[in-house]
A and B are shown apart, each in its own frame.
Chain A
Amino acid sequence: MLGVYRVLVGKAVPHPCGDPKLPPEDEHKIMRKYMEKALEMLQTEIVDDTPITVILE
């Protein structure tokens, strides 16, 4: 990993934080999920200088 300790894997290259295939309400829900996870990771301490990579289910 280059230069970053907290990596959240995005939805897809052309829309990392959204999903155009979903109806707007559902897309809004997954956008919230991504940002909630991001906030959670920002509050997580890094151990042994090992980067953390998270894939949202």
Chain B
Amino acid sequence: MAKRVVVFLNQFFGQIGGEEMASVGFSVKDEPIGPAVAMKMNLGDEFEVVGTVIAGDEYFAAAPDKTAEEEGLPLVEPFKPDLFLAGPAFAAGRYTVSCGAMCKAVSKALGIPVITAMDPDAPGVDIYKKDVYIVKTGNNAREMPKTVKKMCALAKYLCAEHTEKSNMFSLQYLPDPAEFDYIKMDRLYNIFTEETVAKRSVDKLLQKVRGEKYETEVEPDRFETFPAPEAIKDMSKCRIAFASDGGLVPKGNPDKMLTRSNLKWKAYDIESLYKDYEVAHAGYFNDYVLEDPNRLAPLNILKEFVAEGKLGGVSDLFYSMPACTTVSKQGTANGIEMAKMMKERGDVDAVILTST
């Protein structure tokens, strides 16, 4: 039985009109239109393009995810697709976003492979790359034929019943980003290599020692700098908040923070927290902090300082992000949100961040 394919296009590639028709709402055709015809040819007999869903770039622009989930998805579902393709959108500002939104909505609801194609600098990339396969393109629609070819090659891989031995420790079949030329989706997986870690290490060290060219296996991101915050002038008026990555959470861990690779944060009422708590962190022996959370963040001491007039106040909120072996970018993102919350509440002048 042929695999059923639905394609999403904008008003231009869907042959409705140009920019003047960008506000057009959804329409559906029971056959391949425009680029979908080339997709049908490249996919071959094992696939059947059963429908094309079209909507204008401007129609999507105000609320792309909402539009995709509430209007686009119900038009795709009746086709019972096995595969969903969108675009290619190249570098188009609105079109790359609507393609990404449609793909993400379909993927979440139907669990089928979804593929689109964009220029790596396009707005749709950062928003959707984690959820959607995005084949790389330039910013020129002249690349249409080779882009469609790449999308279809990737589609065939994703839809295939793989019987060959998996090269992943997780025994999955994920396409190689270089081979299929798609934008990496922030996924990291162990794969089997030709050579052992030991052999590679000695080979590369020898290259380095001999003065030959050598290739590192990881290239760290270099961090951006920012100006240092000004010092506090009058500590007796200063209000301090505690933040910590040590995993202190309310008893029962109501927000289900993970003991490893946790990405979430929450601000908890500090008085109740210190009365009834647990530790969600698998990277250190928790018992000392469980005995006394002041060992992680000395609330007792800061309260003394306030009573002594040395410190203006302590925040009523404890900003907690259990962070055992997790993603540093997420730490940054969460820190930004915490700072935002503190600024909005306007009750914090300085933060003591403790770490295990």
The chain A residues found within 8 Å of chain B, CB to CB, are 2-5, 10, 13-18, 20, 28, 31-32, 34-35, 38-39, 42-46, 49, 51
Contact = CB atoms under 8 A, between A and B. Distances in A.
Given A31-B301, A35-B301, A43-B231, A16 B291 contact: no
A20 to B, nearest CB: 5
B232 to A, nearest CB: 5
Contacts of A14: 284-289, 356
Given A2-B328, A42-B235, A16 B296 contact: yes
A16 B184 CA distance: 38
Interface string B221-242: 0010111111111010010100
Nearest to B353: A4
B310 interface: yes
Interface residues on B, range: 35 or more
A46 B294 CA distance: 28
B352 interface: yes
A35 B289 contact: no
B352 A16 contact: no
A42 B294 contact: no
Majority DSSP secondary structure for residues of A touching B? loop
Interface in B218-264: 223, 225-233, 235, 238, 240, 246
Given A13-B284, A13-B356, A31-B300, A18 B295 contact: yes
6 nearest A-B pairs in the assembled complex, by CB-CB distance: A18-B295, A46-B228, A15-B295, A35-B301, A15-B288, A5-B228
**Which of A3, A14, A45 is packed against the most chain B CB atoms within 10 Å?**
A14
Nearest to B354: A16
B103 interface: no
B297 interface: yes
B193 interface: no
